[in-house]
């Protein structure tokens, strides 16, 4: 029996375009009904948000300054933060059966 693929995404415009929708249909991949702007199953999104906030708060003066500012938050991601995110998965998965 072949595997049945299901995609979870944030329903942003790039994921719901006619071209993207057609690709999922052509490749027989179901897409979960998932509210836009809802918590994501991809934990890296939380870390990206942490970094974005750190760079924004530092008010970079130009592109090079932004690049330099990006390096410090990445280096500052703690094991504790990662464990907390991994520990949040059971709670994040609760709505999944309702979305399939």
Residue 62 tokens read as 């130009």
d(CA 78, CA 1): 42
C-alpha torsion sign, points 25, 29, 46, 91: positive
Q: What is the pLDDT of residues 54-91, one digit of tens each?
A: 888 888 888 888 888 878 888 888 999 999 999 998 88
For residue 22, what pLDDT band results from cuts at 50, 70 and 90?
A: very high
Is the pLDDT reported for residue 3 higher than 90? no
Contacts for 27 with CB less than 8 Å, ≥ 6 apart: 5
Query: Mean pLDDT across the stretch 94-100?
Result: 63
Closest CA to 94 of 38, 37, 47, 48: 38
Domain range annotation of the chain = 1-36, 39-100
């Amino acid at each position: 029996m072949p595997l049945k693929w299901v995609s979870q995404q944030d329903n942003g415009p790039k994921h719901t375009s006619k071209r993207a929708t057609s690709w999922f249909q052509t490749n027989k991949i179901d897409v979960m009904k998932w509210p836009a702007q809802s918590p994501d199953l991809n934990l890296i999104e939380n870390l990206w948000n942490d970094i974005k906030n750190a760079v924004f708060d530092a008010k970079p003066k130009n592109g090079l300054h932004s690049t330099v500012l990006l390096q410090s938050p990445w280096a500052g991601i703690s094991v504790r933060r990662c464990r907390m995110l991994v520990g949040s998965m059971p709670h994040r998965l609760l709505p999944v059966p309702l979305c399939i």
